[in-house]
Structure formats: structure tokens, C-alpha cells
Structure 1
């Protein structure tokens, strides 16, 4: 049901869009803010869904690869910095707030979602019990490997590496390498020795 949504397929060149791009497969709610800065490259078959009173902004020189999907629910906010690389087939689902810093590399099939299903009441279906939400912050200069999952409430510090197929369910401090499911920090950068050290 598309109540309060508008679906369209048009070429857009507006103040909100400093680049001329084809926006396909887009659902907008009322009072939505959607901003794409200059020199941003959006490839084919990218899906955008923005709920009422939501905000999605992409800063300059960002690349959005094929088959990415962005869902920003009512009153939610997605903020993507400069020089961010979404390699392709990425999924970003926001019901609260997701912030992705500058110069971040996001491998194929990475999922970033700030929500999950409630399941406490065993007498009711899980899909009828609503969601738990908590914001995600990914700092500048982070590399997230292919197939990784970033879960709600997580903060990833500056210049971190998340290994392929990792599940990040807790905070990762700056200058760390984290791998596994759930992800664990296996290396940190020692500024005294100027080396990455295993822990």
C-alpha cells in the first residue's frame, strides 16, 4: 500500500541534486529531504525508499554501485560523507540514524541496519511485535569487507578494518582490525611503535 508515498522515474536536476542523475525505483513520503552533492556517481538499479519526514544526504565524490538499496523510514536520518564507495549490492536500512564518515570503503553485499525485530512475546508472531532501534556511526576512513553485517547500536572508530563476512554487534575502537561472527578485534595500531600489533 503506497499511502503517503509517490513513486516516480524521472531525470532530476534540482537544487537538492548537484548532479544530474536518473533516479529509478524511488518511493518518497511527504516532507522528505533527499540531497546528493556534486561529482557523485549512482549506477543502475539503485533503490531508494524515504519515509515521511526522513532525511538522506550524500556528500561529494561518493560512488553508489549497482543494485544498492537504501531504506530510510519515517523520521529517520541517513548521512553519507565525502568519497564513500558503495561497491554494489549493499543494503542500508535506517529507522533511527545511520552516519557514514568520509573516505569509507564498503565491499559488496554489506548490510548496515540500525534495527531488528522484537521477539519477546512467544504468543505472537515476530513480525507483529515491532522493532528495536539504535543508531549506527561509522567514522572516517573505515574499510568494511565483503558480506559483512553492521548491526544496530554500533559505533566503528576511525581507520578501522572490518574483515569480510564479519558480524559487528558491538563498538570497535579507532585504529582496529575486527573479524569474525561476532566480530572481535585482532589488531590495534600502536602509535608509539608505529605498527599494527596483534592482541
Structure 2
């Protein structure tokens, strides 16, 4: 068992480790973590770019990877506190995105502006306790290669986006989207699919995801 696994399995060690890594009443790693731990723990590919104004709330107990030639634009927040954030090669994460793990993004993916991709949900079932203090649940989000997500969209926990699917601007995606399809709306619905026989994008009549 690795050191990290042992710490996660022991409540007292986990509490101590979190106090050393994260300031009280804050959700960002301490300065020493950002300077001395993260550069050695997390992997950045060749010619990858993370803009100066990006907020990297990444911690050493989960993975953060950025592939070759990928770009994270300004004012984006990346948070791996509850799950890994893996970004492939030649992928663009646009301005003011919020990416909260567990999330895996493939190669040649385009995320426009103001997109939220969050694998995290807060519990709400107990009405005697604020959702802020209830147990969180996490479900993996997977975004395959060649996906394009339009501005102001939301990708919710547990969703998978198939290869070369297109998400229209302002969409809220709550269920999986098949590969080679176009989904739009709130909640998002598939409106077109690519027909490889005719080499055309064909309309789909009100297909619910």
C-alpha cells in the first residue's frame, strides 16, 4: 500500500495531512504545496501552456495531467480535490472554464468559454443539515477525442461524451451523448447524427438522451 493510500485510509492521518496541505476555511493548496510539491507530482506535456491567471487548485493526493501542446486559458479553475483531472494532447480549455474532477478529457478537444465540467455533487437529502456540510458524491466525467463544447455549457457528474460529438452553446448535459452526434438544449437532446454511408449530418427527431 502506498503512503497516500495509507493516509487516506487513516482518519487521523488524513485530517493532519489536509491541515498541512490546505489552509482552514479555504479550498486552495498552501503556497509551499504549489511551489515544492505540485511541480514534481503533476505532469505537464511538451509545449503545453497554462496562462498566468489560471487558478490551479490541484493537490498532490490526486492526479493532474496536461498533455502535449494543450492550452488552459486565463481565469479558468482546475480542481482535483475530489478526483483526478486528466487532459489530453492538443486540447484547448477556454477562458473562465471550471473543471472539477474526476474528469478525463481526450485529445484535440475544444472547450469554449464559461463552461462548467464537474464530477462533484453535494448531498442534500438530510433537511436538518445544510448541503454545504453534507457528504459529497463523485462520478467520473469522460470527454472523448475531438469533442467540441460550446460556450456557457454545463457537463454534469457521471456524463460521457462520445468521440467527435458537438455540444451546442448554453446546453446542460445530464446524460451520455453518443459519438458523432450533436446535442443542444436544457436538458440536452441529440438533434443530429453523422451518417457514414451518406457522409452527411442528418437530423434526429427529438431524441432524448
Please tell me the TM-score bracket, short chain as reference.
0.7 to 0.9
Are residue 179 (structure 1) and residue 195 (structure 2) matched? no
Q: Which segments of 5 or more consecutive residues in structure 2 lack a partner in the other structure? A: 1-17, 22-28, 205-209
**Aligned partners of 2:41 and 2:60 also within 8 Å:** no
User: What corresponds to 1:192 in structure 2?
Assistant: 197
Are residue 88 (structure 1) and residue 95 (structure 2) matched? yes
Query: Structure 1 CA distance, aligned partners of 2:110 and 2:137?
Result: 27
TM-score by length of 2: 0.80
Q: RMSD over aligned Cα, in angstroms?
A: 2.1
| SS, match of residue 198 in structure 1 | strand
CA deviations over 1:81-133 (Å, ceiling 9, x no partner)? 01001121111011xx2110000000000110001111111122111112121
Instruction: Find the structure with the greater CA-based Rg.
Output: 2
Q: Which segments of 5 or more consecutive residues in structure 1 lack a partner in the other structure? A: 10-24
User: What corresponds to 2:7 in structure 1?
Assistant: none
Choose from 38, 42, 53 the match for 2:50. 42
Deviation at 1:52, TM superposition (A): 4.5
CA deviations over 1:22-81 (Å, ceiling 9, x no partner)? xxx948879x8311111112212111112341110001000111111101115x211100
Choose from 145, 154, 169 the match for 1:149. 154
User: What corresponds to 1:72 in structure 2?
Assistant: 80
Aligned residues: 179
TM-score by length of 1: 0.84
CA deviations over 1:153-192 (Å, ceiling 9, x no partner)? 0000000100001111100000000001111110000111
Query: Structure 2 CA distance, aligned partners of 1:29 and 1:50?
Result: 10
Deviating above 4 A after TM superposition, structure 1's stretches of 4 or more consecutive aligned residues are 25-30
More strand by share: 1
